[in-house]
Amino acid sequence: MASTSPGPLALTLPAPTSANPRPEDLPVKSATIQMASPSPAVATTAPTSVTPRPEDCAVKPAFVQTASTFQQLSTLKPAATQMASSLPAVSTTAPTSVTPSPEDCACKPSPVQTASMFQQLPTLKPAATQMAGDRSLANVVAHEISHSWTGNLVTNRTWEHFWLNEGHTVFVERKIAGRMHGEQTRQFAALGGWKDLYNSVQTFGETNLLTNLVPRLDGVDPDDAFSSVPYEKGFTLLYYLEELVGGPEKFEPFLRKYIETFKYKCLDTEEWKAFLLDYFKKEVSEGLFDKVDWKAWLHTPGMPPIKPSYDITLADVCSALCQRWSQATPDNLDQFSPQDLEGMSPGQKTEFLAQLLLKPPLSIQHIEKMDQVYGMSANNNSEIKFRWLRLGIRAEWEGAVDPALTFVTIQGRMKFVRPLYRDLFGFEKAREKTLTTFKQNRPFMHSTTASLVAKDLKVQ
């Protein structure tokens, strides 16, 4: 059953000091320079001198720059204020610097080194993939600001409990979307996240222990475990628990108390679970939590044991158009026209393409017709472009190869780069060019992304 969002709680919002990126969002190392450029300086009460962690320096702007970008997204401000009011006020006397671990210091160059490196690539123009020109990808901004509480203020103890950072952050991010655009939008985003989770599980394999919400990483490089699993499986668990205890009016106060209790601390999943059950001790005594299969949720690979009943209203039009394209024969393609997409939001267009990716590959005739009537190749929304290019490559349409190689070169978000490189490598006619492109650009990619793509392409 779809839940409804309650009104905001009247609380004071602390000034965050930084925001952590999603692993799959890590951009090319020049992002510090690229991201700062579109945003004029704005007045802010945030600290004026914050020493970031070295691993953050090359992947995102300082908080003041992020705040500037966020203030430009005027439609986000009221919703962000509402959502922030549901989070606890904390002291702003937190340390202004963080001493990094030695292994963090050696993995990425400083911004100055990064700028020097990119001078060697004068034709490369890094792209800010969350800037679509229509504010449709502002959820990335909401996600990173949410990390100021879930990830920075409260942090997972080890990489095995990474979902405590990311699952909670996706949960808050979608709360903001719900406050901005209505509950159906939050539900629609959750449906898209379920597909992302399914794709990750299929890539790893349904029995791969790295698809556990709490994986065992003994002898495993944590980089190898990066996927949408901690994000989307974590979100799904939190969404399920919110529905179980009676909706947002019961669960959001728990989230506030959780952050207040563990602020400036690290914790693991067992500590989180113990706090949850203690907070809801009345419901526990009534047997409400007896139905929760903790082993299946936390320590079993594959998809979650329960799929919530999300509201599919906004997805219906996407599903209908997907069915038309997947069932159309090559001699029946004249039925499609630009009017098919009228009234569809960027998110719905993305969902339409995402659903097609779950179907058998389309023919080249289908792809060329879709490009003719919808102008997909000219669309610069990164989420739409990413799925469109994947559809073309799966159809073995050579017209998608060069645009895909350009896309994986001008930006470096792992969520885009890794699947596209895998698809290109699987397309025999594109394989040699793909390997050449990767080898030429590998020194300028984020180290984690470069390492995992190298494994996918079987490159030493």
Which residues are catalytically annotated? 144, 231
Give the distance from CA 91 to its chain's centroid.
29
Q: Which residues are CB-neighbours of 457 under 8 A, at least 6 positions away? A: 421, 425, 434, 435, 438
- Do residues 298 and 163 lie in contact, with contact meaning Cβ atoms separated by under 8 Å? no
Q: Which residues are CB-neighbours of 66 under 8 A, at least 6 positions away? A: 19, 60, 141, 144, 145
Give the distance from CA 29 to its chain's centroid.
18
Give the distance from CA 432 to its chain's centroid.
30
- The CA–CA distances, whole Å, from 43 to 19, 40, 78, 158, 250 equal 19, 10, 18, 36, 36
Q: What's the rounded Cα separation, in Å, for the pair 292 and 218?
A: 27
- The CA–CA distances, whole Å, from 244 to 68, 194, 420, 426, 433 equal 38, 19, 38, 43, 51
Q: What's the rounded Cα separation, in Å, for the pair 78 and 71?
A: 11
Residues paired with residue 156 on neighbouring β-strands, in sequence order: 267
Q: What's the rounded Cα separation, in Å, for the pair 105 and 98?
A: 12
Place of tokens 């430009």: 72
- Which one, of 16, 304, 47, 266, lies nearest residue 142 by Cα? 16
Token pair for 344: 């569809």
Three-state DSSP class for residue 44: coil
Q: Is 10 left (phi over 0), alpha (psi -120 to 50) or beta?
A: beta
Q: What's the rounded Cα separation, in Å, for the pair 314 and 312?
A: 6
Question: What is the enclosing helix (H) or strand (E) of 266?
Answer: strand 265-267
Question: What is the enclosing helix (H) or strand (E) of 155?
Answer: strand 154-156
Q: Find the angle CA(423)-CA(428)-CA(432) to the nearest 5 degrees.
A: 90
